[in-house]
Structure 1
Amino acid sequence: MKKLLNQADRYVDEMLDGIVAAHPELKRVPGTQVIVRAHPKAKVALVSGGGSGHEPAHAGYVGDGMLDAAVSGSVFTSPTPDQVLAAIRAVDQGQGVLLVIKNYTGDVMNFEMAADLASMEGIAIEKVIVADDVAVENSTYTVGKRGIAGTVFVHKIAGAAAEAGLELAEVKRIAEKVIQNVYSMGMALSPCTVPASGKPSFELGEDEVEIGIGIHGEPGTHRESLRSADDIVDTLLERIFAKSGIAPPDRVAVMLNGLGATPQSELYIAYRRVAERLAERRIAVHKTLVGEYMTSLEMAGFSISLLKLDDELTRLLDAPADTPAHRQR
């Protein structure tokens, strides 16, 4: 597998250097793998992160209206507690810090350890754990459901709440509301290759797809022969509908998320079917996001996330944001 890199052991460092070189509104905390806003604000701070390889998550969401810091581990490897603690220290403005954690065992353990250390230093800290994947529970790296692309909705809505000046407890409440109302499921057409290993993380036959796969290549619900885009979308949506209870007159935000190597044209073909199915069920679509929001290196495939909205979540979802990966006025 060909990779555009210099040295595998410099992959994350050079990526982070490239991010701050391209986006001067961001900066890197010296000696760390932490990206923060260059011009912090006095408010509740949001910190998220995880293993690298999911770009634009998480550093791409650092900026006005979303995150204050993103901490990156090695590819598909949780950042260490000291790195997370460095992020917390860097962004704490005295009004508290909320950690947004995807539900993977390493992430939860290391972020919670950092939270304990920060609390011992007198920093007001809270955490939420995102578990939006409806495909499987108790998977390879997870106790309970996995946290996948729906996490971006948490970044956006909790970030808007913090930007509006709400207190830490309120920002956490709103983040928890998003988590309770977002449902996701994905599929893969092909595996990805972690730079350090140089070989695919799993194998799929030419005519095989994996349904319900995780963002690190963890197994899904099953493998099957490649079918039409409409059939695959129907399979994912039926599981989401069954687990979420979304029904008329609900309104939703939809994210059709590419996993890194799926052409935009194919994502729109998939979204066309999503829109048809939602219209058939008389579910109103308030906002649509189609693109790459939480990838898995160069894996081919996509995930669907549905966020059930109320007036509060709608207002915060629509609030302005200005980050490298997500901008809205």
Structure 2
Amino acid sequence: MKKLINDPADVVKDALRGIEAAHSDRLRVDHENRVIYRKDAPVRGKVGLVSGGGSGHEPLHGGFVGVGMLDAACAGEVFTSPVPDQMMAATAAVDGGAGVLHIVKNYTGDVMNFEMAAELAAADSGTEVVSVVTDDDVAVQDSTWTAGRRGVGVTVLLEKIVGAAAEEGRPLGEVADLARKVNGQGRSMGLALTSCTVPAAGKPTFELGESEFELGVGIHGEPGRQRLPLVPAKDLAALLVEPILGDLPYGKGDSVIAFVNGMGGTPLLELYVMYNEVAQLLGKAGVTVARSLVGNYITSLEMAGCSVTLLKVDDELVRLWDAPVNTPGLRWGV
């Protein structure tokens, strides 16, 4: 195992200190509870947005804390859910009087712990908390850590769009309804060319042959649909796009945000090769790309591979997507 770390047991702690050092102009970090906050939280009269999950997926979630996105992100150990105490602390700290929305990826530990934290927050301080779960992965119905579909790429798009709505001062019920709409209109699927190595484990999570790839892999290395011989990018793109198009389904005249996401170990050069193939497939299907996003936004440590997310959008969702955002992981319009 070759990694730029000190002690495997201190990876998350050390990374949080690095995040604080790099972005102290817009973030602050509660090191005891391992929570990243936007510097001005709580914002009076604004719905607070809290998300989080296991570390190792950066910039998700901590890199999306700031104006126009999240108010707080809870950092668990690598590929391990944060605990309810972290989530409860974050919820209390971002409550500006308008309630708090929890954005939760559909993994058993995350769902259970966020649910417990919401109940504790309501009982302790009377904070109104609503939770929305993302479950956009079309690859498999159930997986190692999930009952139902996994929450993946749509989470990034949702945090941006819902963050813009919260910034406008919309009430909690309206913000939560928007989050459910975004989740319902988005679908994702990924593939892996290599495994990744969790620092505490010191060895790859799974083994892939030199000429194999895993279709439908999860962001923690969970098995996908099948293991297949490696084929050119145009064929890989079709294996991702066609199941997504057929699942919602998407059709002629639909507009989408097209998101090609790197898993952490794939060069941007190759991600743009994949985006070109995705765009061509969408054009043939009569689907219009309203906006695009290409890069490493929800990663799996150093895993090589990518995922494709399509979010069906209307004028309102595009407007919220275009709204100003100022976070370490996404920034425009400011």
TM over 0.5: yes
- Structure 2 length-normalised TM: 0.98
Post-superposition shift, 1:133?
Answer: 0.2
Q: Take 1:240 and 1:306, find their aligned partners in 2: how far apart are those partners?
A: 8
**Counterpart-to-counterpart distance in 2, 1:29 and 1:119:** 22
Tell me, in whole angstroms, the C-alpha distance in 2 between the residues paired with 1:303 and 1:319. Answer: 25
Q: How does 1:1-329 map to 2 (within 5 A)?
A: 1-24=1-24, 25-40=26-41, 41-42=43-44, 43-121=46-124, 122-329=126-333
Extract unaligned runs of 5+ from structure 1. Answer: none
Partners of 1:90 and 1:46 in 2: CA distance: 11
Please tell me the residue identity of whatever aligns with 1:18.
Answer: G
Q: SS of the residue aligned with 2:302?
A: coil
Unmatched runs of 5 consecutive residues or more in structure 2: none
The range that moved more, 220-229 or 22-31, is: 22-31
One-letter identity of the residue aligned with 2:65: V
Which amino acid counterpart does residue 21 of structure 2 have in structure 1? A
Point out 4+ residue stretches in structure 1 off by more than 3 angstroms: none
Deviations 1:71-113 (A, max 9, x none): 0100000001111111111111111000000000000000100
CA contact (8 A) 2:16 2:31 kept: no
CA distance in 2 between partners of 1:311 and 1:275 (Å): 20
Classify the secondary structure of the residue corresponding to 1:183. strand
Where 1:127 maps in the other structure, the secondary structure is: strand
> In the aligned structure 2, how far is the partner of 1:306 from the partner of 1:77?
27
TM-score normalised by the chain length of structure 1: 0.99
Question: Contact (CA 8 Å) 2:261, 2:307: kept in 1 or not?
Answer: yes
The answer to whether the 8 Å contact 2:33/2:85 transfers is no
Answer whether contact 1:132 1:146 (CA < 8 A) is retained.
yes
CA distance in 1, matches of 2:31, 2:258: 37
In 2, the alpha carbon distance for the partners of 1:64 and 1:288 equals 21
Cα shift at 1:30: 4.3
- Alignment check: 8 A CA contact 2:48 2:99 kept: yes
Instruction: Map Cα deviations across residues 138-190 of structure 1 (whole Å, 9 max, x no partner).
Output: 11111100001110011001101100000000000100000000100000000
Provide the C-alpha distance between the structure 2 equivalents of 1:29 and 1:55, rounded to a whole number of angstroms. Answer: 18
Q: Distance in 2 between matches of 1:224 and 1:135?
A: 14
The separation in 2 between residues aligned to 1:32 and 1:13, in whole angstroms, is 10
Q: CA deviation at 1:194?
A: 0.1
For the residue of structure 2 that corresponds to 1:173, the secondary structure is helix
Once residues 239 and 133 of structure 2 are traced to their aligned partners in structure 1, the CA distance between those partners, rounded to angstroms, is 26
Q: SS at 2:174's partner residue? A: helix
Q: Measure, in 2, the Cα distance between the counterparts of 1:261 and 1:113.
A: 35
Distance 1:299 1:30 in 2: 27
Task: Give SS of 1:11's match.
Answer: helix
Q: Contact 2:13–2:31 (CA<8 Å) still a contact in 1?
A: no
Q: Which moved more, 1:241-250 or 1:190-199?
A: 241-250
Name the CA distance, whole Å, in 1 between partners of 2:235 and 2:105. Answer: 29
User: What code does the residue aligned with 1:28 have?
Assistant: V
Whether the 8 Å contact between 1:29 and 1:90 is mirrored in structure 2 is: no
Offset of residue 137 of structure 1: 0.8
Query: What is the deviation of 1:44?
Result: 0.4
- The residue identity in structure 1 corresponding to 2:316 is E
3-state SS in 2 of match to 1:190: coil
